[in-house]
Amino acid sequence: MNSGSKKKFSQLRILVLGYIVRGPMGGMAWHHLQYVMGLAKLGHDVYFLEDSGDDSWACYDPTRNVTDDNPSYGLQFLVQLLESVGLGDRWAYYDAHATRWYGSTAERVHDLCASADLVLNLSGSNPLRPWIMEVPIRVYIDTDPVFTQIRHLSNPARFERAVRHTAFFSFGENVQHSTATVPVDGFPWQPTRQPVVLDVWSVTPGPDSGRYTTVMQWDKTIQSVPLQYEGRPYGKKADSFGSYMDLPKQCAVQFELALGGTDAPREELRRNGWAIRNPLEVTRDAWTYQQYIQQSKGEFSVAKEAYVASHCGWFSERSAVYLASGRPVLTQDTGFSNWLPTGAGILAFNNCEEALNGIEEVSSRYKEHCKKAREVAQEYFDARKVLSHLIESVTCPTASSA
């Protein structure tokens, strides 16, 4: 440990590096917030840090609908978010363009880094500046398997950024299995998953006559020119959606997409029975996002084509909070059925026929599936379990593998 004397496992100083100021949206906020909240609940001395990076287009402002180097909107979003959960005194943001720190810990952030035991770099979304390199354990959390590895193999700068970490974990939970075909980038990836702070995801009665919903980005650039490796294209969600375009016409339930992307075929989707929602309304903040999920009957979602084709075992952080809310999840199988029980609460599908069978099954026993959804979240995504295992794996690797 960095302290000179051996610290107890429950008293580590941990820095969570994330992407909230630059991506101030409800789903992104929960993804990061549950790491910070979960670690704090475990008794760790935890802080959220974010770095603008060096690109001038770093910060998105939904009120202006622009991406530039102005962090004002994102900073306000982060302050309100952390204060709402009692963590308003535990954050700092580094603006590389102005060489300036913001935040409640801005004046002592270098001291925090010098005394920290562990860094979690979520999605590898932050550069490891010299002050972060002082921390002895630097963990890369890969939330976008296949794409992450291809970027490391094809982009030397991304590879060099990754190599500055000391431990590597991936949401592609099958990455160590022979069934997965994730490109090998040379890093020793271990499996992990999204932690969910169950206390803040209350279970309310599910609306039996409600809509299946999801939040989705339609990306034309990736769709038309997929990321390629060794001649094989790897697509995103738009590349998976075609087989399910007319699904609403084939069953008696309602579907809604909170759909982003200027190139999304909204009129075609509407003609096929999909209701379309403005995602900026749904993701305005963490609480509007949570309400959207709780008002849903369940989630219906396809997965990125690359996840499905590689059988990597990825499971969505969004789907995890549907489960925690007691909402059934029907989603395209990426190989997660290797480690996550399906058939009750979670129903995996590989084609339209299986999706329709899953919808019929949920409709026939809706309350049972709602109950099972929460049970699966408690067993597999409880932040206490997920984060304890993660921290133990990097601080006591021999004990965690025993």
CATH of the domain at 316: 3.40.50.2000
In a domain, 19, yes or no: yes
The pLDDT value recorded for residue 393 is 97
Q: Is residue 2 part of a domain?
A: no
- In which domain, by residue range, is 260 found? 198-380
In a domain, residue 43? The reply is yes
pLDDT of residue 231: 79
Distance, in Å, from the CA atom of 241 to the CA atom of 237, rounded to the nearest integer, reads 6
Of 147, 231, 222, give the one whose Cα is nearest residue 182: 147
Domain membership of residue 58 (yes or no) is yes
Residue 222: its pLDDT value, please? Answer: 43
| Separation CA 315–CA 330 (nearest Å) | 12
**Residue 223 has what pLDDT?**
43
Intervals of the chain under pLDDT 50: 1-8, 221-223, 402
Q: Are 313 and 191 in contact (CB under 8 A)?
A: yes
Is residue 391 one of the residues assigned to a domain?
yes
* Residue-level pLDDT at 220: 57
For the domain that residue 138 is a member of, what is the CATH number? 3.40.50
pTM of the predicted protein model: 0.94
Based on the fold, state whether residues 166 and 248 are members of the same structural domain.
Answer: no
Question: For the CA atoms of the chain, what is the radius of gyration?
Answer: 21
Let me know whether 280 and 238 are in one domain: yes
The reply to whether 4 falls in a domain is: no
Residues 203 and 189 occupy one common structural domain = no
Counting the structural domains of the chain, the total is: 2
Residues 186, 246 within the same domain: no
pLDDT of residue 226: 65
119, 125, 129, 138 from 54: Cα distances, Å: 20, 12, 11, 20
- 166 and 308 inside one domain: no
345 and 266 housed in the same domain: yes
**167 and 218 both lie in a single domain:** no
In a domain, 1, yes or no: no
16 and 46 in contact (C-beta within 8 Å)?
Answer: yes
Task: Give yes or no: residues 372 and 387 share one domain.
Answer: no
Cβ-proximal residues to 83 (8 Å cutoff; 6+ apart), any chain: none
Q: Which residues, at least 6 apart from 335, have a Cβ–Cβ distance to it below 8 Å?
A: 174, 179, 180, 307, 310, 311, 312, 313, 314
Query: Would residue 95 count as lying in a domain?
Result: yes
Cα(38)–Cα(383) distance, integer angstroms: 5
Cβ-contact 329, 373 below 8 angstroms: yes
Same-domain check for residues 301 and 336: yes
Q: Are residues 64 and 184 in the same domain?
A: yes
Give yes or no for a contact between 334 and 311, defined as CB atoms under 8 angstroms apart. Answer: yes
Asked if residue 160 and residue 66 are part of one domain, the reply reads yes
Same domain, 202 and 166: no
Q: What share of the chain is helix, strand, coil (3-state, %, to 5)?
A: 40, 20, 40
